[in-house]
Amino acid sequence: MKKFLKQFLYILADQKIMLLVLLAAVLGNAVIETLGIGLIGPFIAFASDPELVEKTIVIGQVYDWLNFESRERFIAFLALFIIIIFYVKSFLNFVIRRYIFNFVYQYQGKLRIRLLSAYMQMPYTFHLKNNSAFMIQSIMNHTVSFCNGILLELLNSFVSLTIITFLSILLIYTSPIATIVIGLILFVVFAIILRLKNTLSRWGKTIAQSQAEMIRVVNHSLGSVKETKVIGCESFFLDQLDTQAQLYSTSLSDFMSFNQIPRITIEAMIMTFILGFISVSILTNQDFQGLISTLGIFAVVSIRLMPLATQLSKGLSVLRSSTFVLEKLYHDLKELENHQALIAPSADVAAQFKPANGSLEPSHLDFEQEILLDKISFQYEGAKNPSLNQIQLRIKKGESIALIGKSGAGKTTLVDVLLGLLTPTGGDIKVDDQSVYQDLRAWQNLLGYIPQSIFLIDDTLERNIALGVPDHLIDETRLNRAIELAQLSELVKELPDGVNTNLGERGANLSGGQRQRVGIARALYHEREILVLDEATSALDNETEALVSEAIRSLSDSKTMIIIAHRLTTVEHCNCIHLMKNGQIIQSGTYEEVVLAANEE
Ligand SMILES: Nc1ncnc2c1ncn2[C@@H]1O[C@H](COP(=O)(O)OP(=O)(O)OP(=O)(O)O)[C@@H](O)[C@H]1O
């Protein structure tokens, strides 16, 4: 329980004051409700014997004080008073439930932002190790489970528990023996839940895990739909999904049907109690007037208590089944947030470029002379050998260099280190003699990256090029320049809505070469001084390749370029070519010296 509360409050972070406001409202509501129900007993007694009005303490005094013409009028007034109390109580109840829903669902959105922000700020190595399906599951499903299964249930259970407590006090006051019997009923129900708590946790865990697995399988099958169709292995993914769907449905249906047990038990036991109570009272010749009044209160309390107790027991079982999600969320958030102090996500795009010193100007690093990779080494976690071994490389401003070498030589790793995604295990990167690690954001603000496989969003060409820039901040001149330099002008003319044409999911409406050029235009739009280009390996047709090469070549006059070259013909224009092997640069020189000489050998 202590652990549960600790984890719960950590996830809830700064929302505790909202909870205190709710606590006050819930207590007020419980008092009003108890007063309303408490007055029903005397009202029934007065209705059957008006003479009791004067004999009853407090109510008798109120009757005298208000100076009513007759007892009957006072009884009618009492009825009106009880009705008003019930209306006020119902309204307050609505306001509280609304407040709870508002609070929970707004918090769900905030939690999603907090998680996505935490995941995005984790180092690249974290993303290499973790499957995105599990992150999507956390952001999309665990937040729902936490908010619906834990937060909402806890708040609802709290409301129920408060009212149950107040009503129980009223019952004890009305008839101690009957209260003990009702207490016994609730005890039996909660004992069942507590006994099954481990099974509930297991069901909850299976539900959450199978959901994540289903996202993973769907991701895999739809992400590789081309290959899947050609190989004809659709059934492989369908079988995997079927296994997970079965696990999910079995656990969920077990859990949902279990949830019905408390309601069914409570209903049966309350009926047994009311009928048993009447019979025993008659058999023991108890005062009939008192019996009617007591039963009146019990009837109303039972009607009220039944849904509350059902809700409370459901809340408890849902809470139990959600402990896995709570632990997972707590673990994720704590681990992620401990890793680095989170910057609060901001709608202000400029804030993305906020430097470490907190000023509003984007981080800036002067780059006038050269970039120096000084004895860079890197070894992946768990790998036996380093992937980069004492790499020494100088790149002058305005130069274009190409990294070539066989698959596995270390080209991508070197570029990832350059991009600041991987932190070298040895050595340093310096710009004009200043280490980039003093302000990595400033270094990254100099870089534009054009990956091998461009990630295109399912949106317009314009938004794909000016990725991350809100519409009202998109600079037309910059956009047109980027389109022109990336050799996309022809394409824009052909598109039905020009730059406002939707490119489809992952740019399905474009060819490989066009996608690559959109990537180039994107890097150009953001006007970065250094462009890092992982050349597409896909076999582009000659004409497209010529266009891509032309786009790259036209940039090399104005930018410093680092190209991972897969097709050697495209690096002819580079000032220097570095041949990599086993994580080392084994030869550097001009195209003729490195590529042609190697071909001749
Ligand atoms: N995430 C990783 N974990 C462990 N080892 C890795 C990881 N990524 C790459 N490696 C290893 O690092 C070495 C260099 O890989 P890298 O991807 O940098 O080569 P590359 O020259 O870019 O190859 P390619 O041209 O095929 O992309 C390889 O031996 C590879 O197996």
DSSP string, 51-103: THHHHSTTHHHHHHHHT-S-HHHHHHHHHHHHHHHHHHHHHHHHHHHHHHHHH
Q: What percent of the chain lies above the pLDDT cut of 90? A: 10
Evaluated on CA atoms 282, 287, 292, 298, the torsion sign reads negative
Please check the confidence at residue 537 and state whether its pLDDT lies above 80: no
The whole-number average pLDDT for the span 484-510 is: 81
Of the candidates 507, 519, 349, the residue with the CA atom closest to the CA atom of residue 451: 519
Please tell me the distance from the alpha carbon of residue 138 to that of residue 120, in angstroms, as a whole number.
13
Average pLDDT taken over every residue of the chain: 80
CA of 409 to the centre of ligand 1 (A): 7
What is the best residue among 124, 127, 380, 563 to mutate for testing ligand 1's pocket, by most ligand atoms within 8 Å of CB? 380
Q: Ligand 1 within 6 A of 77 CB?
A: no
Q: Bigger pLDDT: 84 or 313?
A: 84
Each residue's pLDDT tens digit, 357-392: 444 455 678 888 899 999 999 999 888 889 999 999
Each residue's pLDDT tens digit, 460-476: 889 888 887 888 888 99
- Which of the listed ranges 217-231, 331-345, 482-496, 551-565 does the model predict with the highest average pLDDT? 482-496
Nearest CA to ligand 1 atom 11: 387
Instruction: Render 240-309 in DSSP notation, one character per residue.
Output: HHHHHHHHHHHHHHHHHHHHHHHHHHHHHHHHHHHHHHHHHHHHTT--HHHHHHHHHHHHHHHHHHHHHH
Please tell me the distance from the alpha carbon of residue 220 to that of residue 225, in angstroms, as a whole number.
8
CA of 595 to the centre of ligand 1 (A): 22
Q: Which residues share a beta bridge with 431? A: 371, 434
Nearest CA to ligand 1 atom 1: 128
CA of 385 to the centre of ligand 1 (A): 11
Tokens for 178, please give them: 């009957």
Q: Which atom of ligand 1 is nearest to the CA of 416?
A: 18
User: DSSP 3-state assignment of 475?
Assistant: coil
Please check the confidence at residue 246 and state whether its pLDDT lies above 90: yes
Q: Which atom of ligand 1 is nearest to the CA of 410?
A: 18
Please check the confidence at residue 345 and state whether its pLDDT lies above 50: no
Tokens for 258, please give them: 């279990």
CA of 413 to the centre of ligand 1 (A): 6
Which residue's structure tokens are 């099974």?
199
Please check the confidence at residue 533 and state whether its pLDDT lies above 50: yes
Q: Which atom of ligand 1 is nearest to the CA of 415?
A: 18
Please check the confidence at residue 327 and state whether its pLDDT lies above 70: yes
Please check the confidence at residue 542 and state whether its pLDDT lies above 70: no
Please tell me the distance from the alpha carbon of residue 330 to that of residue 8, in angstroms, as a whole number.
8
Q: Ligand 1 within 6 A of 387 CB?
A: yes
The per-residue pLDDT for 324 is 78
Number of Cβ atoms within 10 Å of the Cβ of 17: 8
Q: Ligand 1 within 6 A of 451 CB?
A: no
The whole-number average pLDDT for the span 24-47 is: 84
CATH 3.40.50.1220 describes domain 370-600: no
The per-residue pLDDT for 388 is 94
Q: Which atom of ligand 1 is nearest to the CA of 128?
A: 1
Angle CA 444–445–451, to nearest 5: 60
CB 367 within 8 A of CB 397: yes
- Give domain limits for the chain: 2-338, 370-600
Each residue's pLDDT tens digit, 207-232: 888 888 888 888 778 776 666 666 76
Q: Ligand 1 within 6 A of 367 CB?
A: no
Q: Which residues share a beta bridge with 502? A: 460
CB 390 within 8 A of CB 586: no
CB 555 within 8 A of CB 561: yes
Please tell me the distance from the alpha carbon of residue 414 to that of residue 381, in angstroms, as a whole number.
16
Which residue's structure tokens are 């710009």?
431
Of the candidates 565, 584, 575, the residue with the CA atom closest to the CA atom of residue 452: 565
For residue 386, which amino acid is it? Answer: P
Please tell me the distance from the alpha carbon of residue 151 to that of residue 318, in angstroms, as a whole number.
11
Q: Ligand 1 within 6 A of 230 CB?
A: no
CB 413 within 8 A of CB 354: no
Q: Bigger pLDDT: 66 or 112?
A: 112
Q: Ligand 1 within 6 A of 578 CB?
A: no
CB 182 within 8 A of CB 305: yes
Residue 588: partners with Cβ closer than 8 Å, 6 or more residues away: 576, 577, 578, 579, 594
Please tell me the distance from the alpha carbon of residue 504 to that of residue 493, in angstroms, as a whole number.
18
User: What's the pTM?
Assistant: 0.67
Each residue's pLDDT tens digit, 136-185: 888 888 888 888 878 888 888 888 888 888 887 887 777 777 677 777 77
DSSP state for residue 559 in the 8-state scheme: S
DSSP state for residue 368 in the 8-state scheme: S
The per-residue pLDDT for 378 is 93
Q: Which atom of ligand 1 is nearest to the CA of 408?
A: 19
What is the best residue among 412, 452, 453, 535 to mutate for testing ligand 1's pocket, by most ligand atoms within 8 Å of CB? 412
Residue 86: partners with Cβ closer than 8 Å, 6 or more residues away: 36
Q: Ligand 1 within 6 A of 105 CB?
A: no
Angle CA 54–58–59, to nearest 5: 50
CB 370 within 8 A of CB 576: no
Which residue's structure tokens are 């809830």?
12
**Residue 582 phi, psi (nearest 5):** 50, 45
Please check the confidence at residue 491 and state whether its pLDDT lies above 70: yes
Tokens for 507, please give them: 């740019």
Residue 157: partners with Cβ closer than 8 Å, 6 or more residues away: 311, 312, 315, 316, 319
Region class of 360: left (phi > 0), else alpha (psi between -120 and 50), else beta: alpha
Please tell me the distance from the alpha carbon of residue 523 to that of residue 478, in angstroms, as a whole number.
11
Please tell me the distance from the alpha carbon of residue 276 to that of residue 282, in angstroms, as a whole number.
10
CA of 412 to the centre of ligand 1 (A): 7
Q: Which residues share a beta bridge with 534? A: 564
Q: Ligand 1 within 6 A of 344 CB?
A: no
The whole-number average pLDDT for the span 593-598 is: 72
For residue 557, which amino acid is it? Answer: D
> What CATH number labels 2-338?
1.20.1560.10
